[in-house]
Amino acid sequence: MTPRLLLFLSLIGVTVSIIIGGGGGGGYNDHSDHHSHSDSSDSSDSHEHRPHPHRPRPPRPQPGRPPRERTNCPANWLLFTRPEGNWCAQVGRGLVTLQTTNKLQAFVATLGLDQAEAQCQALGATLTGLQSSLERQRLAEAARLLAVQYDIAEGAMWVGGRAKPECTSVSACPDSRNSFYWTDGHTQNGTDGFGWEVGNPMLEYHYLDHSRGISGCATLVFARSGGVVYFWRQFVHGLLDDIWCNGQARMYACGKLAT
Ligand SMILES: *[C@@H]1O[C@H](CO)[C@@H](O)[C@H](O)[C@H]1NC(C)=O
C-alpha cells in the first residue's frame, strides 16, 4: 500500500467518525466525547445521571462445592455435629406404669435390646453409636434428666455397640476402643465415643448360662446424681458397660441422620 493511499483512507476514516460522532447534535460536548470512549452498545445519555442498579446476582453453583450442612433434627432430639454428616440422637425410656400400692409412683419398665431397637425403628432411627466423649456425655445428661423426671436413681441405656466377632476375651482385644463397633452404619468406629467404665469392656463369658455367650452388647450408664452409681463398684455416670445381649435396660438411645 502506498503512503498516499494510506493517507486517503485515514482521511475517510476521520470524516466518517466526525459524521457519526456529530449525529446526536452537540458532537463536541462532554457527552459525545464520553461516547467515543465507551462501548457502542452503551449509548444512552441518561445513564450518566442514573446510578447503576446493583442487583445481587444469584449465586452460581460451583463445581466441587460441599452440599449444604444438614442441621435439622426432630423436636427434642440432640444434634451431633460430625465431619462425615450430622447426626440426631434421642434417649427413650421403657413404658411407664403407675404403682399405687403404697404411694402413687411412676415406674419405668426395662426393655430388651430387640424391643429398644424396635422403638428406634418406629422413629425411623436405629440404636445409636457415639463418636466422641462429648456425644457420650450429652446423651448421658439427657438420660439423667429423664431419671430426675421419673425418679430413677441409676440405670443403663442401650446403645448400638457390639463386640467384634474376634473379641472373645479382653486378652484377644486389649484395646478397649477397638474391641466393639457401632452398629448404626454411620458412627465412626474406634473413636473416644468408646469410653468405658474402669476395667471394661470385660467381654465376660457368662458363667451360669453358657447360651448367653460373652457380654457383647453395650449400654451407657447413667445416674440421677450425675456421679457414682451403686449397682456396680467403681461405676460412674456417662461411661459404657458391656452386658449380655439378652439383658434389660430402662432406657435406650436412638440415632439417625440429620436432614
Ligand atoms: C463399623 O464397623 C462395623 C463392623 O465392621 C461396620 O459394619 C460399620 O459399617 C463400621 N462403621 C463405619 C462408619 O464404617
Residue scoring higher pLDDT (157 or 41): 157
Strand pairing report for 217-223 and 154-163: antiparallel
Q: How far apart are CA 206 and CA 214, in angstroms?
A: 6
Q: Is the CB of 194 inside a 6 Å radius of any atom of ligand 1?
A: no
Number of domains present in the structure of the chain? 1
What percent of the chain stands above pLDDT 90?
Answer: 61
Read off the CATH number of the domain in which 95 is found.
3.10.100.10
Q: Cα dist. 118→1, 113, 124, 133 in Å?
A: 93, 9, 10, 26
| 44, pLDDT greater than 50 | no
Average pLDDT score over residue span 217-238: 93
Question: Ligand 1: which of 173, 177, 184, 189 to mutate, most ligand atoms within 8 Å of CB?
Answer: 189
Who wins on pLDDT, 92 or 5? 92
Within-domain flag for 187: yes
The average confidence (pLDDT) of the chain is 82
User: Is 192 within the bounds of a domain?
Assistant: yes
Give residue 167 CA to ligand 1 midpoint distance, Å.
Answer: 15
* Percent with pLDDT over 70 in the chain: 73
Q: Quick one: pLDDT at residue 105?
A: 65
The answer to the question of residue 134 being in a domain is yes
**Eight-state DSSP code of residue 10:** H
pTM attached to this predicted model: 0.74
Question: Residue 193 belongs to what domain range?
Answer: 78-257
CB of residue 180 inside a 6 A radius of ligand 1? no
pLDDT at 154 > cutoff 60: yes
Whether 34 maps to a domain, the answer reads: no
Q: Is residue 181 part of a domain?
A: yes
Q: Is residue 163 part of a domain?
A: yes
Residue 30 lies in a domain: no
Residue 20 has pLDDT above 60, yes or no: no
20: in domain: no
Query: Cell 440422637 appears where?
Result: 89
Q: Which of 181, 186, 187, 257 to mutate to test the pocket of ligand 1 (most atoms within 8 A of CB)?
A: 181
39-53, 77-91, 157-171, range with the lowest pLDDT: 39-53
Closest Cα to residue 126, out of 254, 259, 258? 254
Q: Is 183 in the pocket of ligand 1 (CB under 6 A)?
A: no
